[in-house]
Structure 1
């Protein structure tokens, strides 16, 4: 950021046009913005000034600030890359440190505004775009928090997990995702998650006999992984923000993974030749249109309508009736998507009471293999 005296030889005011954008600073006051116009392009809201700065900032009156990519932006981008994802609250912590150093005065996290955060996200996105990366945002299906993540815009997304993993570990990851979206994602129970015990079962950790096609297109022997290797891999996937692990011990794809893998998931697990009304494994919220792995489902098991928990109330209030918008089945909200497709069942709750609230055994929580086989036959 660079401050120049307005209405002086330093600033050509003819190149600046006022915008309706504005932000507030707790010690400088309310800022107004300019768009800079050149013969070839324009830079929206890239200059700003304080028409009536607070008493502690009167020294910047009649000055215009011009944005420029600096060490603060680099530090913010490095923090975002290290985390993989960032919420506004996390961004406040990062930016408060950056602002404190830059402005040589203490800036508390709650003094960092949403506009500050958005401007740094925008600058970071511009900086990484030439390298085929982009910053996408989504809303967490549980917490409603807005999450920003750096994603690769061009490469095969499943291979992005492979930078620090062996071939056997990548085969293991693929079997985990297959379990989430095939084995434990059926018409009757759309779990789309795997328990800790399931993740360490031989049907997921074991290799496949003979050669197997790797994600990079090369043939390779899938030797499987040991339980120790599987646990280390799972911990790494959680730490890197690819998987989430609930307090009950269920592994699911994180918001970052869903953003990066969405197109691949649809291509891999949905039938492109199916009719519009046919049941599909990957579905989207009827309200927000975001990918759906947690929430509620229509009572008609063949209907594809799903709604996030965080979208449900507003969605049905706007419609005036609690009926499925497609098949008109009464919407009672008692059929779940996600781990509650298991944990809300009578058999799970009875087993939990019998065990005194202890974690249920593998047999009690997993989707019955005969059920999966029966559904495959129905298809």
Structure 2
């Protein structure tokens, strides 16, 4: 093994300055580091194999709680890499970029995405904005939209052409431990590469747990395989696999939900206007009445278990992002 040299140090600095990048770019940065060090020393460039050099850099990061992770992008198929923190709260990784309230908002969005029904692992823009009302410090609609845009521009979320938000490759790499710990029952792993799946396919056979990334599925089929790799052994020639991710929600369903939300909001506004006048009169009468004696002790606080909270979050997601198809 080559000694840890100035080439490795310069290469590491270039990786840290970017933190999240493609493997192709990382290779170019490594080549450039070799050239710079050779020029400074007045020698011919000496190039250790890229993967070996990357491995040595990764070994140097271990003692300080960092590691290099690689993952193929579920959409572009480009292999990406990131230097990630292996210690502490993974969500705190975004602390240097956002305020505490914005980080709390990000956690809510991650939760709604992971609890999305039908394994869609995505949330509509309207539902995402609605989540801001659950924050300790409320955001305006404009502030919520601006914060969501920042999550996208800085690589933590992806927004599709349909306006749905999902986790980016960066989030899947940097928040991997957090996701597997907090969403044990929701995280899906590819049956081939064993990485987290949020966009891909599911075996159409009932009760089969096979899930794959689209690129893994395409590779599997290109190799001539015609049946599910699990024990179910279902033939995939006659039955199309079920989509996982945004494709699990049709555009028709999106349009139907948007229309229902507008109707619900208009109805609620109309009812509120009708309710205001009688309420004012009622309040005046109540002020004239004698106040009742306070009860001896307040009712006990009902604390929700984590399971109840998860169920509540899931139900809220379903209300704003209901997957039921229009009649």
Same fold (TM over 0.5): yes
CA distance in 1 between counterparts of 2:260 and 2:209 reads 27
1:363 CA drift (Å): 4.6
Change (3 A) 1:230 1:312: same
SS across alignment from 2:119: coil
The 1:164–1:145 alpha-carbon spacing in structure 2 relative to 1, beyond 3 Å, is closer
Matched, 1:286 2:191: yes
Aligned CA distance change for structure 1 residues 175 and 124 (closer, same or farther; 3 Å): same
What residue is the counterpart of 1:83 in the other structure?
Answer: 18
- Taking structure 2 as the reference length, what is the TM-score of the superposition? 0.67
1:69 matched residue in structure 2: 5
Paired with 1:287 and 1:364, the residues of 2 have a C-alpha distance of: 40
- Asked whether 1:254 is paired with 2:168, we answer yes
Deviations 1:125-184 (A, max 9, x none): 2332221111122222233332221111121212222233222112211110111011x2
More helix per residue: 1 or 2? 2
Aligned partner of residue 121 in structure 2, secondary structure: coil
Matched ranges for 1:295-306 at <5 A? 295-300=200-205, 302-306=207-211
1:226: Cα distance to partner? 2.8
- C-alpha distance 156-301 of structure 1, shift in aligned 2 (>3 A): farther
Match in the other structure for 1:101: 36
Residue 198 in 1 paired to residue 198 in 2? no
Distance in 2, matches of 1:87 and 1:179, equals 28
Q: TM-score, normalised by structure 1?
A: 0.59
| Residue matched to 2:91 | 158
Relative to structure 1, is the Cα distance of residues 79 and 261 closer, same or farther in structure 2, using a 3 angstrom cutoff?
A: same
The whole-number CA distance in structure 1 between the counterparts of 2:159 and 2:27 is 25
8 Å contact kept, 1:136–1:150: yes
- Indicate the structure with greater strand content: 1
After TM superposition, the structure 1 stretch with the greater mean CA deviation from structure 2, 240-249 or 78-87, is 240-249
Say if 1:135 and 1:148, in contact at 8 Å, map to a contact too. yes
Residues 99 and 319 (structure 1 numbering): CA distance in 2 closer, same or farther, change over 3 Å?
closer
List per-residue Cα deviations over 1:315-360 (Å, max 9, x = no partner).
3566843346243444333421111112xx37359x6xxxxxxxx9
Q: Are 1:132 and 2:82 matched, yes or no?
A: no
Number of residues of Structure 1 aligned to a counterpart in Structure 2: 264
CA distance in 1 between counterparts of 2:138 and 2:46 reads 48
Q: Which runs of 5+ in 2 are unaligned?
A: 262-316
Per-residue CA shift, 1:261-304, capped at 9, x if unaligned? 2332233223xxxxxxxxx4211111211111111112246432
RMSD: 3.6
Deviations 1:90-129 (A, max 9, x none): 1244334434433449xxxxx998x643244223323322
Shift in CA distance, 243/258, structure 1 to aligned 2, threshold 3 Å: same
Q: Are the aligned partners of 1:88 and 1:117 in contact in 2 as well (CA < 8 Å)? A: no
Q: CA 1:364–1:336 in 2, change beyond 3 Å: closer, same or farther?
A: farther
Which residue matches 2:314? none
